[in-house]
Structure 1
């Protein structure tokens, strides 16, 4: 009983983080992404999001695994792993490289914006997958 409660609590917290990120990053698309302040703020938002998702999804994965729900555990482990990979090797390092060139190269701001949109799309897909799994697969 306790593992499933932990898993569900972590899942709710994860959904809150994902929803907060989606609602918080969507209005930032109006920015041109062409100043150091814009890019630093957006990069910080992505970093905080990944730092919140990794332990939360890991706790949910652990809870589901100990509760005997391997499919849910695998899904949450994939979300935690994807957040780790995006923070460590994909999104954050690319944002850092682009931030250094934004004032000098106009194309960097466009690439930074695309990276912002791709990060939001990945989050939306994950959010939809978690919501779908909870409503359709049944615990």
Structure 2
């Protein structure tokens, strides 16, 4: 292994740790009732931090892989960074909208917020599976 691969390895491990850590943290948050402003604000902040962390680590991995000429891995990591940016843009405004409806007393918004929380977790699982599968599949070639 050359020394130029060390940053790519670092960012890849950071991406795996970030994704797994936030997955393990998001599932227990489902025990929250999602019926108070604090619950919704905390869950929204949790996912905002997750998306920012993935965008940073995936971008670092993409640049590192491109630097050493591993363009397939670089493109995959860049795709994950873009996916995180799109999910952040999609999920967070919806969480804000549902939080406002919960605060206004709309009981059906609680179920909607919970469904959105579950959807965000499922996307996290998909991302983690995609990262692991890609690393295994492309490493064997």
Q: TM-score, normalised by structure 1?
A: 0.93
- Give me the whole-angstrom Cα distance separating, in 2, the residues matched to 1:58 and 1:76: 7
Structure 1 residues 3, 116: CA separation in 2 closer, same or farther (over 3 Å shift)? farther
| Structure 2 residue ranges without an equivalent (≥5) | none
User: What residue in structure 2 maps to residue 115 of structure 1?
Assistant: 116
Correspondences of 1:98-137 after superposition (within 5 Å): 98-103=98-103, 104-137=105-138
Deviation at 1:67, TM superposition (A): 1.5
User: What residue in structure 2 maps to residue 6 of structure 1?
Assistant: 7
- Give me the whole-angstrom Cα distance separating, in 1, the residues matched to 2:109 and 2:123: 21
Q: 1:3, 1:64 within 8 Å by CA — same for their partners in 2?
A: no
Aligned length: 138
- Give me the whole-angstrom Cα distance separating, in 2, the residues matched to 1:86 and 1:62: 21
Deviation at 1:108, TM superposition (A): 0.9
- Give me the whole-angstrom Cα distance separating, in 2, the residues matched to 1:107 and 1:130: 35
Q: 1:22, 1:124 within 8 Å by CA — same for their partners in 2?
A: yes
1:28 maps onto 2:26 in alignment = no
Deviation at 1:136, TM superposition (A): 2.2
- Give me the whole-angstrom Cα distance separating, in 2, the residues matched to 1:50 and 1:114: 18
Question: Which whole-Å deviations, capped at 9, do the CAs of 1:8-37 have from their partners, x for residues lacking one?
Answer: 110101111111110001011112211111
- Give me the whole-angstrom Cα distance separating, in 2, the residues matched to 1:38 and 1:60: 33
